[in-house]
């Protein structure tokens, strides 16, 4: 959860320079580093229950899936600009097709959005 307000992450990105997974709060927009091999919703680290999928035509946007809590997190990778220039709420809107795919597979969004 967010270290400032305690809410859940909207989305994340992998920093190009060191591979750190950075999450952004769905309420206050705070960003914080989070382990790549851990679910940000139920904290499982069981590698058998964590996976990701992506569309072949858009490999830079992935759905990280957790079989333990059946939630998902959208993550952007391959971004090479400055972290503060990456606007994750816009990335979230532009990847709505991933939400549909996750729901089709029986996963639910980890956080509430304006659309949920």
Residue 88 lies in a domain: yes
Q: What is the pTM of this model?
A: 0.90
Residue 3 lies in a domain: no
Mean pLDDT score of the chain, rounded to an integer?
91
Integer Cα distance of 72 and 58 in angstroms: 17
Residue 59 lies in a domain: yes
Give the range of the structural domain holding residue 43, as residue numbers without chain letter: 9-109
Residue 99 lies in a domain: yes
pLDDT digits (tens, 9 = 90+) for 48-105: 999 999 999 999 999 999 999 999 999 999 777 777 788 999 999 999 999 999 999 9
Residue 76 lies in a domain: yes
For residue 90, which of 109, 66, 103, 74 has the smallest C-alpha distance? Answer: 74
Residue 15 lies in a domain: yes
Integer Cα distance of 53 and 55 in angstroms: 7
Residue 46 lies in a domain: yes
- Total count of domains within the chain: 1
């Amino acid at each position: 959860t967010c270290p400032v307000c305690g809410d859940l992450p909207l989305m994340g990105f992998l920093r190009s320079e060191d591979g750190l997974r950075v999450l952004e709060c769905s309420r206050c927009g705070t960003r914080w580093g989070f382990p790549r091999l851990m679910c940000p919703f139920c904290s499982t680290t069981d590698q058998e229950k964590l996976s990701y999928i992506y569309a072949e035509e858009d490999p830079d946007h992935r759905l990280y899936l957790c079989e333990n809590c059946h939630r998902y997190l959208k993550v952007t990778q391959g971004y090479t600009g400055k972290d503060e220039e990456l606007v994750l709420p816009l990335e979230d809107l532009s990847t709505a097709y991933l939400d549909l795919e996750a729901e089709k597979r029986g996963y639910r969004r980890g956080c509430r959005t304006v659309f949920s």
